[in-house]
Amino acid sequence: MHYIITEKGTTAKKIAAILSNGKAKKKKIGGIDAHEFDEKVVIGLSGHVFRLDFPDSYNNWSKVDPYKLIDAKIVTVALKKDIVKTLGQIAKKADYITVATDYDREGELIGVEALNSIKKINPELKVDRMRYSAITEKDIKDSFAARSEVDYNLAASAEVRQIIDLVWGASLTRFVSLSANRLGEDFFSVGRVQSPTLALLVEKEKEIAKFVPRKYWELHAKLKTENGEIFDVTHKTAKFWEKDEAEVSKARIEAAKVGFVRTLKTKLRVEKPPTPFDTTTFISAASAISYTPKRLMAIAEGLYLGGLISYHRTDNTTYPDTLDLKALVQMFQKHKEFGKHAKLLLTKKELKPTAGKKKTTDHPPIHPVAETTKDKLEKDEWKVYELVVRRFLATLSDAAKWEDTNVTAEIGDEPLTAKGRLLKEQGFLAIYPYQKKEELVIPQLKEDEKVDLEHIELVEKETKPPNRISQAGLIKKMDDLGLGTKSTRHEIIGKLYDRTYVQGNPAKPTEKAVALIDSLEKYAALITKSEMTKTLELEMNEISEGKRKKKEVAEDSRNMLKDVFTDLKKNRSEIGNSLKEAVRADKIVGSCPKCDSDLLLLSSRRGKRFVGCSNYPACEFSLPMPKSGRVVVTEDKCDEHPYMFKLKIIKKGARPWDFGCPYCNFQQWQDKVKSEKKGEN
């Protein structure tokens, strides 16, 4: 029997339907759905079947020296025992296995994990690999017809990543958490990629904190032409740092009242179409329409599995020559939203796409692979699908052309400037509305034309601090620095939020995060630097290229980690003390309404959580809190109790709960109890 192993049940169902021309019959193998046709069976794995871990003897954090984890034995643990059992049943019947998981590092490892499990029982199997970038009839049938060898090197590079991340994450997390006496839900999470990423945010927050605003003044005026048309100008000195200077210039202009146009320069500017989407630029573009990386990737996954877009995890920004661009455009000829532009593109003699700097051979840039309509998708699905289609069509479109005009006028010897911007040819902007195309219209002017002062004002402003880094901006920085991969970056950012190291978007680090990075940078700087992670990433790439061995790279990483621990051990007490202080700062909920001392998030000896006064026992003010979930103190204050911060409660697998003001919650609970008692009476 020929078994085809996919990554997910939904993929298995689709691939079976395509390869069998809809004739596959559903069956169960050990409780797992499978699809059979023509002596072939397609089955889905539901992601990783196994995970790496330390033996149970290393589980007690308090009794095991974190340093010992570096060289500890690593074991394979079954994540899904029902699927492992099914693989055992398959092994007894199979004579041929085709791996059809997603073609990337993780997908290759998932396939090889399953393959190794089967080959333990049946080592004589024939094995091959399907590689596809879209779940369409053509892609799946073509990939099945052109099956190739399993890429064991690619799988090995993914496995060594798991080993390195496990060893670094577990040993460092335990060391730091034990040093700060933070166990249970409130442990300090430290990671090979996570910590350098957090360091970027902390560095930016420090820039913002150091920033000292500086006042400046701008001169804004309105001028009237000989034809009575009015247009806006500003002084050529964009920022006056001294108010007196600005007032002198303003007085001169007001005294003169009349001036002339001195220079008039017009030039044509060409705005090139955007390049094809790789994962990073896809995330960046989607953030502009309010999608976080995590949400976007979940929606894109659904569109990919639904056979509507190509694989959404790619580093490629150049369409391969094998991609039939004309056929893809023809799909949209009659489409209500995109048809007009698609027809326009098909009038061109040749479709010449833009190309970015990245060219890889695993997957093409993200593009549509099937046509659908708005009414067939959920609102968010449509918005993401529409973004992909419009970007694809934009990459095949002409450049936009602008007419830029720069004007200099002079009144009382003071230079005033105006800028005009007119869109002469829409080009790609006709189909791609996500890029600004705002025009600035100014009157038709002539050199030496007389202009009258209509209005003038001095506007006081001040310099602004640097902006915080958005989630999309952080992914771009991670990409530039070689932190993580296209598949893992959004997950790393998710962990920063889950561990309450950051809040909001753009991300603001909490006191706990700042203290952690400060301690690591002071006592073990290597952990916070991107260079270390980038070095390991390059070595992992060399494994996939067959240039390095898995064992060798894992050993390199362990030696790096041992050097880190040398510094950590010397400064254990200093690290612990700095983190303990930060944790307390992060637990301050507000000021006590009775004595004005700090209100803190606390736990009783029996494990009950509450908000309590730091002045206890002199002050016994307290408020109850929910039993479970990680509590995050936000920056928002309660309108009714302005001395209290609002709270969020985070539970794994659930959306954050906006708990709000703990005092308001307590009062609402009291009112409810009183109301219920009245009802009983």
Catalytic residue positions, numbered: 311
Strand partners, 645: 637
Bridge partners, 657 (sequence order): 649
**Beta bridge partner(s), residue 599:** 590, 613
Exposure string of 369-390, with b = 16+ CB inside 10 Å and e = fewer, is: bbbbeeeebeeebbbbbbbbbb
Among the listed residues 453, 579, 471, the one whose alpha carbon sits nearest the alpha carbon of residue 177: 579
What is d(CA 77, CA 190) in angstroms, rounded to the nearest whole number? 23
Please give the DSSP secondary-structure letter assigned to residue 429: G
CB burial class (10 A; 0-12, 13-18, 19+) of residue 71? exposed
Dihedral angle computed from the Cα positions of residues 403, 406, 409 and 413, in that order, rounded to the nearest 10 degrees:
-170
* Alpha carbons 679 and 676: distance in angstroms, whole number: 5
3-state secondary structure of 97: strand
Phi-psi region of 653 (alpha: psi -120 to 50; beta: other; left: phi over 0): left
The span from the CA of 309 to the CA of 392, in Å, is: 11
- Mention every residue, 6+ apart, whose C-beta is less than 8 A from residue 492: 191, 193, 194, 197, 478, 483, 484
Three-state secondary structure along 565-577? HHHHHHCHHHHHH
Cβ neighbours around 84 below 10 Å, total: 16
Q: Write down the residue that tokens 């039939």 correspond to.
A: 324
Question: How many angstroms separate the CA atoms of 418 and 551, rounded?
Answer: 64
